[in-house]
Amino acid sequence: MAVIGKIRKRGGIITIIVGLALASFVLGDFLRKSNRGSKTSNIGEICGEKITYTDFEKKVEEQSELMKQQTGKENLTADQVFQVREETWKNLVRDIVLAQEYDELGLVVSSDELWDLVQGKEPHQYILQNFTDPQTGQFNAAQVRSFLQNLDQYEQQKPGTKAQWENLEQSIKSDRLYNKYMTLIKGGLYVPKALAQKDYEQKNKKIVFRFFTNRYSDIPDTKVTLTDEDFQKYYDAHKQEYEQEPSRDIEYLSFDVNPSETDLKKADEDIKQIRTDIEKQENIDIPTFVTRYSDDKYDSLYYKKGALPMLLDTVVFKAKTKKGDIFGPYYNDFTYTIAKVMDFQVRPDSMKASHILFSYKGALKAAETITRTKDRAKTIADSVLAVIKKNPKKFDTLAKTLSDDPTAKTKAGDLNWFADGAMVGPFNEACIKGKEGDLKVVETDFGYHIIKITGKKKPENKVRVAVITKKIEPSNETFQTIYSDASAFAGENTTIEQFNKSVINKKLNKKIAEYLTPMTDAIAGLDSPREIIRWSFEEGTKKGDVSKVFDLQGKYVVACITEIREKGIPTLDQIKTQIEPLVKREKKAETIIKKINALKTAGISIDQLASKNNAPVDTLDNVTFSTYSVPGYGPEPEIIGALFTMKTGVISEPMKGNAGVFVAQIDKFIEPAATKDYTTNKSQVVMNFKNRVGYDLYNALEKSATIKDNRILFY
């Protein structure tokens, strides 16, 4: 009702927006088709295979239905639908990329092989997961056969069952093919003796060396002056390391649509009338009254002190508060609250019980195999209760053998401790009113229960409160006013310079979103911001452009493009700030190297050179080629690698490291013990390669594949 009310209130502006949207849609679609031709019908292209919008949406719909069935929800949220589309695209890319590999190798899963994976002696893990009894943990092969024999009947009873099964079968085939492919690749790995020998030497050959270091941190950044040539030199040497995917940076203003003073005044009058009306209501009519006027449903539960919202908790548990008292209206965060005390009771906070359920055809969550009538279920429950009253020890046995509760076989009907209100109403109240040890038959929507009350916590004072909450909604006029403000801002500030100047002059709160990708689905503080992201990637959008007004669920947004990054190598300007510390490090290295070289003379020892350089000499031993770090300096793989190319007794040239400039001298090489058996090294190298295959192989295949993603044109 609240949603319909909002639509009615905003009828005028919605008519305008819908009209403009339809016009934009028709014109936009026409222009897109005229500019891009038939490409607009394709969601993308993967390894030469065109993916049409229709085919892709069909797969998305199939996955959406599966998610609905798994979550038990009738509809998915916008975020969930987006996630489904993302997963569907990723899976499609993966399937097509890998299918090319399978085809070239001739890999298939035969019908006999699939049958064996489903119904054979060692079924696939997906079959085990879906046909294992959760109570016993036992796989039921007969259930698989029965399911397949009656698949058409299951489809009639629950449409979509066949599609679910086909999806499961396809997943089994895909997994089997992938495992075959991985096995082939891993099985083809071979390490020759020379490589195993090299690995043995790198792990066991050691050096003893002396060195001194001038740290970069010894030179303050303020002492380093960088030129454009310095930046360009570093960029030219390292730009390939910064290869990027397309992204955008934006700055944006959010014009939140909150109720105006006029809206608040009108809401105040309405809530006062509701307060007057609730005073006239009989208690029996209160639930209906709350449902009619409140944003939240009537809550019939009893709450102890501390369980209600703080404001209500404070007033309803006052000593003088009595049944029938009305409190409010209270105002907080654009919401009014009125509360009426319906009842006080002394009730336990939690109880413990066991039950035996006798369901009947048509009862809530009754199994399809149950055919007994409601009257028959009642008769059986009464008869079994009489047996238990004569011999209470039979309760557990009868619960295991007769109860229609699936957990009864393992728990003998024991429900353990449960909070007051956690069980369905009649069941809960029977436990509240009864005493420990009582046996009784109670009817609920699930059927007839024989309840045995086995425990109750100490009773405490509780209250049932009827609460009316009314969120104040902005009026149509308020929406129009805020929209006009946003439109005026967008119209008056069409460049980034004007945008920022107005933000400062009007003291507005500008926000920033960086590195937005074509399929980003979230911007802080904004709901469903896809239209903004699509605009930022449109062909005509340029750096510095200011957007139109976007209507995003209760707020209007104006955005400005501050950076455009295309796929590939970034420009120097785009990464200049990022590389600046590294360019300074290069400059410091040049200064240090120049100073050390100036101090070197013929015949000078490393100790003398270090002394002239005011640096201590350190000694390290047992360093291998596989060593990654230099103690006290951190990771220095290039320095370690360079050491193993040197000769003993020779002072190295100054070497640029990560922490500073190193000068070293090898004192001794310690050769590894002689051996002809490199089996262990061969196994280790092979294992290292195999461990990388699962992750690196597919990434390499995907990177080398030709993939064109047009989804941003559609979503």
Tell me the average pLDDT across 588-615: 95
180 assigned to some structural domain: yes
- pLDDT tens digits, 673-688: 999 999 999 999 999 9
Residues in Cβ contact with 421 at an 8 Å cutoff, skipping those fewer than 6 apart: 301, 302, 428
Q: Are 278 and 289 in contact (CB under 8 A)?
A: yes
Q: pLDDT confidence of 416, banded at 50, 70, 90?
A: very high
Q: DSSP letter at 54?
A: H
Same domain, 377 and 448: yes
Same domain, 411 and 449: yes
Same domain, 481 and 419: no
Domain boundary among the residues 347, 375, 399 is at 347
Is the pLDDT at 6 greater than 90, yes or no?
Answer: no
Is the pLDDT at 33 greater than 70, yes or no?
Answer: no
- How many angstroms separate the CA atoms of 691 and 697, rounded? 10
Same domain, 495 and 541: yes
Lowest mean pLDDT of 127-141, 222-236, 508-522, name the range.
127-141
Domain count, the chain: 5
More confident residue, 694 or 86: 86
The one-letter code for the residue type at 98 is L
**How many residues in total does the chain contain?**
715
Is the bond leading into 329 cis (omega within 30 degrees of zero)? yes
Q: pLDDT confidence of 138, banded at 50, 70, 90?
A: confident
Same domain, 339 and 410: no
pLDDT of residue 548: 96
Domain boundary among the residues 411, 426, 456 is at 456
427 assigned to some structural domain: yes
Among left, alpha and beta (phi > 0; psi -120 to 50; other), residue 93 is: alpha
From the list 653, 675, 657, the residue with the least C-alpha distance to 665 is 653
Structure tokens at 519: 């399929």
Structure tokens at 533: 């992201």
Q: pLDDT confidence of 72, banded at 50, 70, 90?
A: confident
522 assigned to some structural domain: yes
Same domain, 432 and 528: no
Q: DSSP letter at 457?
A: P
652 assigned to some structural domain: yes
pLDDT of residue 110: 93
- How many angstroms separate the CA atoms of 97 and 308, rounded? 56
Distance of CA 210 to the CA centre of its chain: 51
* Residue 217 dihedral angles phi and psi, to the nearest 5°: -65, -15
SS3 category, 410: helix
Dihedral, CA atoms, 201, 202, 206, 212, nearest 10 degrees? 150
pLDDT of residue 216: 97
Same domain, 254 and 222: no
Q: Are 439 and 452 in contact (CB under 8 A)?
A: yes
Structure tokens at 645: 């190319």
- pLDDT tens digits, 327-340: 999 999 899 999 99
Same domain, 538 and 560: yes
Mean pLDDT of the chain: 90
SS3 category, 512: strand
Tell me the average pLDDT across 446-457: 95
Is the pLDDT at 272 greater than 80, yes or no?
Answer: yes
Tell me the average pLDDT across 118-133: 89
From the list 616, 505, 506, 516, the residue with the least C-alpha distance to 214 is 616
Is the pLDDT at 36 greater than 50, yes or no?
Answer: no
Residue-by-residue DSSP string for 2-29: HHHHHHHHTHHHHHHHHHHHHHHHHHHH
- How many angstroms separate the CA atoms of 15 and 429, rounded? 51
CATH number at residue 484: 3.10.50
More confident residue, 695 or 269: 269
678 assigned to some structural domain: no
CATH number at residue 409: 3.10.50.40
Same domain, 387 and 410: yes
Same domain, 355 and 439: yes
Tell me the average pLDDT across 693-714: 92
- pLDDT tens digits, 373-406: 999 999 999 999 999 999 999 999 999 999 999 8
Full residue range of the structural domain in which residue 322 is found: 261-347
Tell me the average pLDDT across 262-281: 94
Q: In what order do the strands lie in the sheet with 707-709?
A: 49-52, 42-46, 707-709
Domain boundary among the residues 670, 693, 709 is at 670
Tell me the average pLDDT across 309-324: 90
- pLDDT tens digits, 541-574: 999 999 999 999 889 999 999 999 999 999 999 9
Structure tokens at 639: 């320095």
Structure tokens at 231: 């930046």
Lowest mean pLDDT of 80-89, 153-162, 235-244, name the range.
153-162
Start-to-end C-alpha separation, the chain? 30
pLDDT of residue 79: 85
From the list 310, 303, 313, 317, the residue with the least C-alpha distance to 332 is 310
87 assigned to some structural domain: no
Residue where the block lists tokens 């310095």: 230
Burial of 509 from C-beta contacts in 10 A (0-12 / 13-18 / 19+): exposed
Q: How many CB atoms lie within 10 A of CB 453?
A: 21
- pLDDT tens digits, 465-479: 999 999 999 999 999
- How many angstroms separate the CA atoms of 360 and 443, rounded? 11
What does pTM read for this prediction? Answer: 0.74
Same domain, 303 and 236: no
Angstrom distances, CA of residue 694 to CA of 11, 44, 96, 700 = 56, 26, 17, 11
701 assigned to some structural domain: no
Same domain, 343 and 423: no
Is the pLDDT at 31 greater than 70, yes or no?
Answer: no
From the list 586, 519, 655, the residue with the least C-alpha distance to 213 is 655
- How many angstroms separate the CA atoms of 341 and 308, rounded? 12
- How many angstroms separate the CA atoms of 583 and 586, rounded? 5
Q: Are 415 and 352 in contact (CB under 8 A)?
A: yes
- How many angstroms separate the CA atoms of 309 and 278, rounded? 21
- How many angstroms separate the CA atoms of 483 and 479, rounded? 6
11 assigned to some structural domain: no
Residue-by-residue DSSP string for 198-222: HHHHHHH-EEEEEEEEEEGGGS-GG
